[in-house]
Structure 1
């Protein structure tokens, strides 16, 4: 039932000891996210510690260290529901996740992407099928050089050769890449932190690059989204 409600993410920002936890706890209580009996319990416990005004803050702060020091370390309440809305706090976002607006260009798994790469230090030749580890934001995933589309001048970006058979140190190129595992990336022009990467192999960085366009899988369908199709046509 709750999942069918409008989903709202809430961020509360403020200086240290400005009342962020107290304000948020009070809001959750007023919205029905926690019952009166629990608030009365927190009020009693806070009064025993000489911190009666902290009862709403303790909706979020339940660790002993949090209550003694007046800081939030680990949010104990990370979601609540009202009659109309389903709310999720930052606690529901895990390390390594990519979060975004579900109704405005949400992050999706990449089926593949087109990138501009510069080969920095590789002892041999790089051909289609090469599958080193790609480091992009927090992801460390093997990605295959599926197609070497064109070799370009590394300074001007001017095309030098179509469909080169291989790349070597010092070369720059436009390539199609396919991740070996689920991965979320974006074009560098839209979201720079999610669109730049390093290519690692043999315990060293062999190339760096930026993503020009992404083929995205629609959630659960394995299809390329319309936005991704438009990006491909614009290449």
Structure 2
């Protein structure tokens, strides 16, 4: 693994806005893909008459290879820039992927948002049903503040490479991001043509009017988030493998604290304790893992069936909280009618997704001030903010946002859509015995 500092990157945006092509191009330009893989993808694309999608084919090819192999960290793709070593967390844009995006975004340090400049495509991404809007809202909730907005397909803008169209797209996105509280000094906009690589790693002769950074330069301008090493260990589990000759290997990303070989840890909400035998990341053995590390670790005393995605690991001396009930500040992003007590959406928090029942609407908040506007309203509607109490239907590991941000922000999903987003103010824990 590279000695350069490491950042996790997520690529988000509406379906067909050019995410795969952009990532394929970036990986190729940075020399991550070998000639053979590139040739094969080009031939496959040509056969199907989809020459312009060869980079997307490359990614599909990589995905298939990853799905066949059982190596631990294959949902991730890696590349280096002058300054950083990046892991790309894949987040495709179809509806059902929003769930994956929620768990993916909670592991990312920065995002590339792909937005198509093509007439009609941009507009549909920003419509009420559009994923450009939804992904921006989710990125903010998941604590992603560093965003590079890649305005793609500039070659098919009308007219091609039109600065006016670029500005129109940029201003619309900017206004929307501002309204959700993004610090725009951490957001960059770049006009791009992925298929020719214009403004990806090399400057475009067709867009001389743009004098900002290329995508690669913008990636090098990202900042490493501070590592919460002094906080207690929290590691949400993403997958669990059983590897012959090794044993049980849970996989996840350290969100806070440090895990060392030999540590006594506990998996919550199961309450199962174990000892860490070994830790590895990208096939490199580690003595200890810190916040931001995507790791696989081997545990003594645990069976694969004892652990599942959504569990959280901590030290036995400071176990993660399991909520009997929790209070959160939420925003209703989309709902056809209204939310009342008894409403039970699926709450997606870190890598867990559990149905949670609204047990009380404590107060409706004034959107301008964030202060209480009405105590115990009967219901809340789209666009409104409120303080709400939830009761998880099954045991759920969560923490207060102020203590552990990554375990304290969530999205609510229902009917295949994101209904709302929230941050946890308070957790009423349930007692779990450590076995």
Instruction: Report if TM-score (shorter chain) is over 0.5.
Output: yes
Q: Give the SS at the match of 1:100.
A: strand
Q: Is the 8 A contact 2:311 2:352 kept in 1?
A: no
How many angstroms does 1:162 deviate by?
A: 0.5
Partner of 1:5: none
How many angstroms does 1:153 deviate by?
A: 1.9
How many angstroms does 1:154 deviate by?
A: 2.9
Q: Does 1:173 align with 2:406?
A: no
Q: Is the 8 A contact 2:321 2:399 kept in 1?
A: no
1:1-235 equivalences under 5 Å are 15=1, 74=243, 76-77=245-246, 87-89=275-277, 90-91=297-298, 95-104=309-318, 106-220=319-433
> Whose relative contact order is higher, 1 or 2, with alpha carbons under 8 Å and at least 6 apart?
1
Aligned equivalents of 1:100 and 1:220: distance in 2? 14
Deviations 1:57-96 (A, max 9, x none): xxxxxxxx99xxxxxx958456999xxxx84332257543
Aligned equivalents of 2:244 and 2:404: distance in 1? 29
Deviations 1:107-151 (A, max 9, x none): 132101000000111010111110111111111111001000001
Q: Give the SS at the match of 1:193.
A: helix
Aligned equivalents of 2:358 and 2:324: distance in 1? 13
Aligned equivalents of 1:165 and 1:212: distance in 2? 21
| Structure 2 unmatched runs, 5+ | 3-69, 72-241, 249-260, 263-273, 278-296
Aligned equivalents of 1:195 and 1:166: distance in 2? 24
* Structure having the higher Rg: 1
Root-mean-square deviation (Å)? 2.9
Aligned equivalents of 1:97 and 1:160: distance in 2? 37
Aligned length: 148
Aligned equivalents of 1:154 and 1:139: distance in 2? 29
Aligned equivalents of 2:308 and 2:394: distance in 1? 18
Q: Is the 8 A contact 1:114 1:175 kept in 2?
A: yes
Aligned equivalents of 1:209 and 1:87: distance in 2? 34
Q: Is the 8 A contact 1:78 1:88 kept in 2?
A: no
| TM superposition score normalised by structure 2 | 0.31
Aligned equivalents of 1:122 and 1:159: distance in 2? 22
Q: Is the 8 A contact 1:150 1:159 kept in 2?
A: yes
Structure 1 stretch 148-157 or stretch 176-185: which is displaced more?
148-157
